[in-house]
Amino acid sequence: MPAHKASLSENASCGLTTVRGSASRVVLLGRQGAGKGTQAERLAAHFDVPRISTGDMFRAGADTGAELNGDLSRSMKAGELMPDVVVVEMVRARLSHTDAIETGFVMEGFPRNVAQAEALDSMLAPDGLDVAVELVVPSDLVRMRLASRRVCVDCGANYSVAQPPRSGWTCDVCGGQVVSRQDDNQAAIDRRLALYEEQSAPLIEWYRRTGRLAAVDGTGNPDTVSQNLLATVADHHARAQPNVGGLNQGGKS
Ligand code: ADP
Ligand code: ZN
């Protein structure tokens, strides 16, 4: 695993300090609506690494190596999962970029089943993943969140009916249009949550068995969740590299 050279610089958003030159390979797990997108963004900013979101990549029509055809695109809107081979190759291509190789990443939306996790392990060999963190939010709460969620079509920033952008439905970050996601309708929400229980719950067990799982309560306010998440990831780094110490160590003191 690359060394953590925790050189701290100015504060990023949300009160988290940016740590440049560190390497971090983190996967966020959790139900749809658990806050993975928001938290991945903050954690990635903190470590100064790319956030990799397979959902965003599909939505952006990224070069998947197997362009989403009409059928796949329709099935994505209905809440179905994309074929493993398509997702795995898209992730493999993304992880071959210099930023991910040199600095690491915070990933969300992938892996979502054990086969994808095994593929990820083989892509990351021999260093492997630092930690998979489950953001724990019960299903009744995520249902409420998903129904009121709104996202920026351009940058993926998250809003809600209760917390809209400052000006109309225009993204605060990039000025893009803020809308309801096409798969945030009731039928697709039901389907996605059912698939989560079926495929991703066993994945969490698998990470637990392989000693790489941590869990963070995702129900509190987003800043508290961020702090807890960061502490959890830093704790894993510290245990993996006892001589370096926690990333918080050199932080705001
Ligand atoms: P959510 O987790 O809220 O359903 P994402 O934004 O992570 O949404 O993903 C949106 C859609 O993109 C999924 O419903 C699925 O069709 C596709 N997708 C994203 N990541 C994967 C993956 N790892 N495996 C299969 N399909 C995926
Ligand atoms: Zn935006």
CA of 165 to the centre of ligand 1 (A): 24
pLDDT level of residue 106 (50, 70, 90 thresholds): very high
Other beta carbons within 10 Å of 229: 26
CA of 57 to the centre of ligand 1 (A): 9
* Beta carbon of 94 within 6 Å of any ligand 1 atom: no
Domain 23-137+190-243 fold:
Rossmann fold (3.40.50)
* Beta carbon of 110 within 6 Å of any ligand 1 atom: yes
pLDDT level of residue 249 (50, 70, 90 thresholds): very low
pLDDT level of residue 243 (50, 70, 90 thresholds): low
Residue 149: active-site member: yes
Residue 36: active-site member: yes
CA-closest candidate to residue 79, choices 30, 120, 32, 124: 32
pLDDT level of residue 5 (50, 70, 90 thresholds): very low
pLDDT level of residue 253 (50, 70, 90 thresholds): very low
To test the ligand 1 pocket, which listed residue (81, 148, 151, 190) has its Cβ within 8 A of the most ligand atoms? Answer: 81
* Beta carbon of 178 within 6 Å of any ligand 1 atom: no
Residues 6 or more apart whose Cβ sits within 8 Å of residue 1? 23, 127, 128, 130, 240, 241
Residue 92: active-site member: no
Range from 29-33, 39-43, 99-103, 234-238 carrying the lowest mean pLDDT: 234-238
The overall pTM is greater than 0.75: yes
Residue 74: active-site member: no
pLDDT for 105 equals 96
* Beta carbon of 54 within 6 Å of any ligand 1 atom: yes
- Kindly identify the ligand whose nearest atom is closest to the C-alpha of 115: 1
pLDDT for 219 equals 97
Among residues 25, 31, 149, 212, which one is catalytic? 149
Give the model confidence (pLDDT) of 178-196 as tens digits: 999 889 999 999 999 999 9
Domain ranges of the chain: 23-137+190-243
d(CA 64, CA 22) in angstroms, rounded, equals: 28
* Beta carbon of 81 within 6 Å of any ligand 1 atom: yes
Range from 36-40, 82-86, 129-133, 249-253 carrying the lowest mean pLDDT: 249-253
Q: Which residue has the higher pLDDT, 244 or 166?
A: 166
* Beta carbon of 158 within 6 Å of any ligand 1 atom: no
CA of 251 to the centre of ligand 1 (A): 34
Percent of the chain with pLDDT strictly greater than 90: 65
Residue 112: active-site member: yes
